[in-house]
Structure 1
């Protein structure tokens, strides 16, 4: 099976090489460095088709791309990006995503505006870290998510930036199937709803590169309130701490601590969910859900050639209704590895394929950039 997966991965790379070569357009931004040398920064675009398999989607195919550019003539300015993707799955799911990060004023002002729409065959096992398989977990839903975040020079504490967030989520439960929790109306949000959120975050960002960090750290604390006229009134808190260390040439160790918590009255689909593309790879995203989720993961990254690399990762995490219930007794594990293909050498942007293994099975993941 793994041989077939690697063939699929490299097949995507060959198609990307043939049809998705970066197209570069001069931005007319000629930058003077401290040594009076001249560097020209360009717009670059990378597009590619892909196929993948995850516990959530089953087999899927689609396409994506990333547009990189600079908003001003400044050698310290980080590249802005517009990333997009669309896929369709063998179980008739589809999803469209748009992820933007625009940097201004020597990275002191950042605008992020993620947008997504999708139809999902999802599963809900109930709330807690000891839920069991019953064979009736499946249900169908439709989601629209939009957010805009403006990060400015620090207004609170000693953060690098303070962000202000506006968010809108609309979820429709289209078919509960035989899911006992939804049919019996036992959980908050069994019929979907509308959420309007507003909040702020504090960001400390000292990474040497935003796409493939090899040194430095990143911390973010995010707090969002969902007041009326939201269908559910609650709050959300997220802490994301990352540290990167180069140990030898072309070898990096990345470590990530993550916590997510929501207050009472949050709909079940907004409860922190263990699993997915970036955290606890190998678990169906949402296999375990509760009001609090904590994770510690680490990843070893190395390039074997100028463009081909690999990673090995492992993580521990769990969910609980109360923070005091978090402990080692029901701790979940995840481990695995993956391949990397450097398709934008200038900005160190990788195409990745990971195979994650967890307590309940395994998953295969494709994406742009690193998991964290």
Structure 2
């Protein structure tokens, strides 16, 4: 009898332990799921400097969230806004959205910007040429949708409306009002293991940007944009080496505001706005060193060239650029960084504030 009671007691005690472990495990899973589905709101300061816009100050509120909390495949969506003022008198307000739906079968983007942009451009008019200021009241609205067709292949359609009223210093060019309606057809192959911070896989994109006359454009033009990004895991998955090719080719009447300008995403280290043309080709590499769960450093270098410049001496030259940057993880459960890059180019330099990685 005593032996039977002992066995029953052991069984009850063991069952209690197992039940407690299951409850704890279930509770942990629910907690992790709740954390993954949690909406996170952050307000990030914006500050930067370049030789054109000078000091830039602002704020960027951002929201990261799940559109469908039962969808465990789609990445979190991102929405935000930005307000920026620069000490050369420019100011901008923008909104941005990046949405992932239906187990990542659909991807939607929306971007809107309005502001007053005071900048400069280089004109080879007398002797060695000169910089001239221009002021442009700018409004840009972009909306796009992508559909997963097969495995990692996406097809998309974007629409962009742009309106510029540009006044040039000393009337070196006629003041002009330009409005364009662009349709972009794009196809991409995306094997990245993360849309915000990949350390494996690649992304190939081909875009055809068409500005047809029947869509209310005064000038007909086309752009072909191609890019290839490759990501390699380093230091046992802690770091990333990323490589990028980009080629943007303008065809037809490319208006001044839509020319390619060296500096920014595809070659950092150019901020004067000196080198611009109808097309650009660039190669770059970047090492992303994560020395802390929330912080990291990057080192990058690249080469670029342009063609179709209003200054023919600039065409097909090699323009190097390189520098270093700092990254800070903005959200708790998603590897999404903001940061600052400092870069040097040919007789130029710039400091860039980043929302996400350069590519």
Give the equivalent residue in structure 1 for 2:253.
Answer: 265
Query: Is 1:310–2:306 an aligned residue pair?
Result: no
Give the equivalent residue in structure 1 for 2:119.
Answer: 122
* Cα contact 1:137–1:179 (8 A) shared by 2: no
* Cα contact 1:136–1:178 (8 A) shared by 2: no
Give the equivalent residue in structure 2 for 1:252.
Answer: 240
For 2:171 and 2:199, locate their aligned partners in 1 and report how far apart those are by CA, in whole Å.
45
Give the equivalent residue in structure 2 for 1:223.
Answer: 208
Query: In the alignment, which of 124, 132, 138 is matched to residue 137 of structure 1?
Result: 132
Structure 1: gaps (5+ residues): 1-35, 184-189
Give the equivalent residue in structure 2 for 1:82.
Answer: 79
For 2:247 and 2:171, locate their aligned partners in 1 and report how far apart those are by CA, in whole Å.
28
Between structure 1 and structure 2, the one with the greater Rg is 2
**Change in CA separation of 1:286 and 1:132 when aligned onto 2, cut-off 3 Å:** farther
**Change in CA separation of 1:55 and 1:83 when aligned onto 2, cut-off 3 Å:** farther
**Change in CA separation of 1:145 and 1:103 when aligned onto 2, cut-off 3 Å:** same
Give the equivalent residue in structure 2 for 1:92.
Answer: 89
Normalised by the length of structure 1, the TM-score is 0.81
Structure 2: gaps (5+ residues): 1-27
Query: Is 1:196–2:188 an aligned residue pair?
Result: no
Give the equivalent residue in structure 2 for 1:166.
Answer: 159
* Alignment: residue pair count: 321
For 1:283 and 1:91, locate their aligned partners in 2 and report how far apart those are by CA, in whole Å.
17
* Cα contact 1:46–1:66 (8 A) shared by 2: yes
* Cα contact 1:273–1:285 (8 A) shared by 2: no
Query: Is 1:102–2:89 an aligned residue pair?
Result: no
- Residue deviations 1:227-272 (CA, integer Å, cap 9, x gap): 2211221111111211111121321101110011111211121112
**Change in CA separation of 1:285 and 1:150 when aligned onto 2, cut-off 3 Å:** farther
Whichever structure has more helix as a proportion of its residues is 2
For 2:230 and 2:127, locate their aligned partners in 1 and report how far apart those are by CA, in whole Å.
35
For 1:64 and 1:50, locate their aligned partners in 2 and report how far apart those are by CA, in whole Å.
7
Give the 4+ runs in structure 1 shifted more than 4 A.
none
* Cα contact 1:215–1:246 (8 A) shared by 2: yes
* Cα contact 2:107–2:146 (8 A) shared by 1: yes
Deviation at 1:353, TM superposition (A): 0.6
SS in 1 for 2:292: coil
* Cα contact 1:340–1:353 (8 A) shared by 2: yes
Query: In the alignment, which of 117, 141, 144 is matched to residue 146 of structure 1?
Result: 141
